Amino acid sequence: MSSRIQIQGSPVYLHGANYPWTINNGKDNYGLDFGANTFGTHSGVTTNRAQVEADFTLMEDLGFNTLRWFVFTDGRGGIRYDDNGVPVSVSEKFFDDFECALAIASRNKIRIIFVLTDFLWLRGSRAEMMMSAEGRQALLENIFAPLFERYSGNDVVLAWDVMNEPDWIINEMSAGANEKTMPLEEFKSFVKSVADAVHASSRQLVTVGNARLASVNVWDDDELHLDFLQVHSYNDMLRNPWDEILFGRNFTDLALKRPLVIGEFSTSAHLAFESKSSVEISLHEYLDFCRDSGYAGALYWSFNAVDKCGRESVDQLLRWKERITLT
């Protein structure tokens, strides 16, 4: 089994960043990039096109070939609900924003992993919908499946990520207390349903934004029909009992059946979090490690500095691009 992801029959190393949501007029646009939102406004990609185009131009210059971009997050944007809070369709202007994003990415030769939902869905007012089988089925049938079918032939869409960091909302995996959670088997059933819907209409890939190395084996399950795995690696996660150390470990040592992408990492996490066990690793050191240790790619968090982890050095990224070959 190749440790690289196959794109049109060739192995490709994914190099890029999380572009999780835009910064629109100086404001955090979490969950609002695609379509009208539940606040009765619209601040999607089409309202901020010049900035998004500038971002993608820079990312192409940095040698990025892949981005990870959140779509529906906690359900606040892009979805129209009925009076009972059940998803019935994508919201007004959703397709305008989505197609604008695809066109910009295509011009800059960047593929996108679209993250369908975020674990924060279970921290908000729509948690009960996600926790019910009926709600998840409506989300799949009325929102996701039409989206998969409409863009089944679009090469910009590399993959669909079912949820960002579900570790934090699954009964058997959550490190949090007194939070709303789901049983693992229920969530795995949802993952399989999403994967099957994608594969029914396209050759696009499916993944889950698994947070911790300690739980990556949960998703390396043939019955889920996932195409590649993820782990999100931060220096603050080295604090027990959150996670195991990834840096310095070869992909083959993990004995996984599917390629593994470092879906999020931050070499500046030691600056952002107080942790005695955090270690300082240079950006070049980390990028070299990911590429040379058999991983399928590495996407740093985050391009537009949406939180205290900040943004990796553009100068350092350019220097790394100049001295490597992505194979």
Measure the CA–CA gap between 314 and 318, rounded to whole angstroms: 6
pLDDT of residue 276: 45
Q: What is the end-to-end Cα distance of the chain in Å, rounded?
A: 16
Q: How many alpha carbons fall within 13 Å on the CB side of residue 320?
A: 22
Q: What is the pLDDT of residues 67-109, one digit of tens each?
A: 999 999 999 999 999 999 999 999 999 999 999 999 999 999 9
Measure the CA–CA gap between 121 and 246, rounded to whole angstroms: 28
Name which of 312, 314, 281, 269 is nearest 62 in CA terms: 314
Evaluate the omega torsion of the peptide bond into residue 302 and state whether it is cis, within 30 degrees of 0: yes
Q: What is the pLDDT of residues 195-224, one digit of tens each?
A: 999 999 999 999 999 999 999 999 999 999
Q: What are phi and psi of 144, to 5 degrees?
A: -70, -50
pLDDT of residue 279: 61
pLDDT of residue 244: 80
Confirm if 105 and 151 have CB atoms less than 8 A apart.
no
Give the total residue count for the chain: 327
Helix runs in the chain, H state only: 49-61, 94-107, 127-131, 133-139, 145-150, 184-201, 269-272, 283-292, 314-323
Full-model pTM: 0.95
pLDDT of residue 275: 47
pLDDT of residue 69: 99
Tell me the domains of the chain and their CATH numbers. Answer: 5-323 (3.20.20.80)
Residues of the chain with pLDDT under 50: 272-276
Token couple for 310: 């900040």
Indicate the SS3 state at residue 68.
strand
Measure the CA–CA gap between 256 and 40, rounded to whole angstroms: 45
